[in-house]
Amino acid sequence: PMGSERTEMRKRQMSTTQETPGAAPAQHSAGNRGSNACCFCWCCCCSCSCLTVRNQDEERARRTSHELQAEGIPNCEESPAPTLEEVNAWAQSFDKLMLTPAGRNAFREFLRTEFSEENMLFWMACEELKQESNKSVIEEKARLIYEDYISILSPKEVSLDSRVREVINRNMLEPSQHTFDDAQLQIYTLMHRDSYPRFMNSAIYKDLLRSLSEKSIEA
């Protein structure tokens, strides 16, 4: 009996030893499946439900941010409809275009089609800043302008050279109505040289001019 018990014990030990190597791959396989379900496993991220949820969250955040920006930006300035004389004057010089709200609205509509509306928005924000006299309001508006149009993290960042950026950074230590004067002039010049000629040849300008001309003839 003792011999048979020892034999049975050896069988059980051998059985256990044989099963153990098989158990390790099973555990390893389970571990692999666990890692495959993780977002940090790039070899299978396309099928990872966690990553799908994360992408949906990021898309929702981007959409919300865009909607908030759109809500915070008026579509146009309040102004009476332009006359034929005014629209003709816009072709004489960029300054005459920018002097009237109707001209700025039409030009801004064109800039929007070229995805450069931020240039006009920045210029307008600088003009608004120049009208302020309250120190705390000036500082707050200057901060917002910097965050919206100067910061490299902003989707509405305007194109400025390094010299002007250095001037702005110095001016932001003590913001004033004229903190962005150099930057505003640079963007004004950019719109004048780059966008204005295309605006004069655009359908937006030509259609407006034709419509007003037809109304003038009918009258």
pTM of the model: 0.66
CB atoms within 10 A of CB 119: 22
Using 50 as the pLDDT threshold, list the residues of the chain that sit under it.
1-5, 7, 11, 15-73
pLDDT tens-digit map of 45-98 = 443 443 444 444 444 444 433 333 434 445 678 878 999 999 999 999 999 999
User: Torsion angle, CA of 210/214/215/216, rounded to 10 degrees?
Assistant: 100
What domains lie within the chain, and their CATH numbers?
84-216 (1.10.167.10)
State the pLDDT at residue 129.
Answer: 98
3-state secondary structure 76-137: CCCCCCCCHHHHHHHCCCHHHHHHCHHHHHHHHHHHHHCCCHHHHHHHHHHHHHHCCCCHHH
217 vs 99: CA distance, rounded Å? 27
User: What is the dihedral sign for C-alpha 88, 91, 95, 97?
Assistant: positive
CB atoms within 10 A of CB 101: 14
